[in-house]
Amino acid sequence: KVSQSAPAHCPSLLRFFQCGDGGNLLHFAKRGYEVVGVDISANRINDAKSFFEQENANAKFICSDILKLNGYKSYFDLVICHDVIEHIGNKQEMLSRIECFLKPKGLLFIGFPAWQMPFGGHQQICHSKLLSITPFFHMLPQCLYKYILSLGGENVECINELLSIKSTKITIELFEKIVAQTSFDIVDRRLYFVNPHYEVKFGLKPRRLLKPLSEMPYIRNFFSTSCFYILKRHFFFTMFITACLW
């Protein structure tokens, strides 16, 4: 869907990614996009550079905090922000920063797991096999959640990361409320019962949430393993920015 929505003329793409080797970017690079990948982790950036060298593909990778990235004002046709917003405390500030990078008619793709879904707390990163496959326990009160993680043998780094995610969690309702306070419009929304990434990981065919269930506030969060959105600026805001640039 993102590929179909993207401009066809050798466009520029910025992706804030947390996907390790940057594999999700390869498709765009081979289609002729100018690709820029950003991650706060130097190790992930190095992995991405190595992967692209192996694939003989071109991209620029920058180690930076999203909120501190400089340059690229009104530069990109498409920004992809997948599995990132649930890690950010000030989500509205993040959207405002991304807006600065987009061209007036640029598109923003955002994907995230709803907090209340079985593994919305990212507990699959636990070293304990039992905890990594235990659904919903991330929704326990923080003191009890931390105690169980400690009891399960998780190290301080893992516990702190999981508690950080708990403090910056995102729901469908919260995300759409934040978007309504920005200059973006939602042009497409897809809530998945079976995450499209599960096809590669587990061989499961992607399944969208049934429409009646997708329209049920709060309840839909428990069944949405992944939420995909495409955003663009309000029409009149786009016209204003275009006029200013001219």
pLDDT tens, 22-55?
667 888 888 888 888 888 888 888 988 999 999 9
How far is CA 135 from each of CA 31, 162, 184, 216, rounded to the nearest angstrom?
38, 14, 33, 22
Indicate the SS3 state at residue 162: helix
How far is CA 130 from each of CA 3, 44, 126, 135, rounded to the nearest angstrom?
38, 27, 9, 10
Per the model's pLDDT, the better-predicted residue between 245 and 86 turns out to be 86
Please give the Cα distance from 234 to 187 (Å, whole number).
10
pTM: 0.86
Could you count the other beta carbons within 10 Å of the beta carbon of residue 109?
19
Q: What is the pLDDT of residue 35?
A: 87
Q: What is the pLDDT of residue 41?
A: 84
